[in-house]
Amino acid sequence: MIVRNWMQSNPVVIGSDTLLSEAKRLLTENNLHGLPVVDDGRLRGLITRANCLRAASCVLRTQNNDEFNFYSTRIKVKDMMVRNPATVDANDTMEHALRRGQELGIGQFPVMEQGRVVGMISANEIFSLAAHFLGAWEKRSGVTLAPLDLKPGMIGKITDIVEAAGAEVQAIYPIGKPEDVNPQEHHRKKVIIRFHSDNTRIVVKALEDAGFPVIESVQAVH
């Protein structure tokens, strides 16, 4: 999964000398979390809703007309923007972007290609990716297995059990958090299984009878 195929293309950008009040308007009207700050084709920073709200809250607390006028007519994007923001490349994988976001504790990236801003990755795109994988629009049933030692052939065995119980497997995702991993248990992961079935309970029983504890199950509502 390549970033360019999931990013918001042709993003709204803003210049560093633009008034902060104009940035707030663009963010609100376009339902955006952040705007790349671009001068002469080069990325200079990132202005976010949080930046705008921080400045506005200071003005509201003082309830001073002079400060309100200063905010409206003098404070510019360059005064509040995040300088040298973290970025990802259009040819990076989405896995890389997600890992980088977790490591840095941020939820959006300008997407670069040959030194130019060509897109944005934000929470909207991350939710879209998650919904795609989990089949949010396909009304799949599913179960999550307790952490397993995923030895070779284990996924195939799980698939056979689920399909023998009358379900049609759509996707299987072994997942684990980095903080859950230690050198002795680096293969142990929860396993999310998504499938089409009118009776999830039959699938749960088949898995547990085969020695795979189920920690949660969801029956699709048609």
| Domain match, 119 and 150 both | no
Last residue of a domain, one of 131, 157, 175: 131
Last residue of a domain, one of 115, 131, 147: 131
- pLDDT tens digit sequence for 75-123: 899 998 999 999 999 999 988 998 898 899 888 999 999 999 999 998 7
Last residue of a domain, one of 131, 159, 175: 131
Domain that holds residue 183: 135-218
- pLDDT value of residue 69: 60
| Domain match, 142 and 186 both | yes
- pLDDT value of residue 64: 58
Nearest C-alpha neighbor of 75 from the set 22, 35, 36: 22
Q: Considering its fold, how many domains does the chain have in total? A: 2
| Domain match, 13 and 77 both | yes
Q: How far apart are CA 220 and CA 23, in angstroms?
A: 42
- pLDDT tens digit sequence for 203-214: 999 999 999 999
Point out the least confidently predicted range of 58-72, 90-104, 131-145, 202-216.
Answer: 58-72
- pLDDT value of residue 154: 93
Is the confidence at residue 184, as pLDDT, over 70?
Answer: no
175 confidence band (pLDDT: 50, 70, 90)? confident
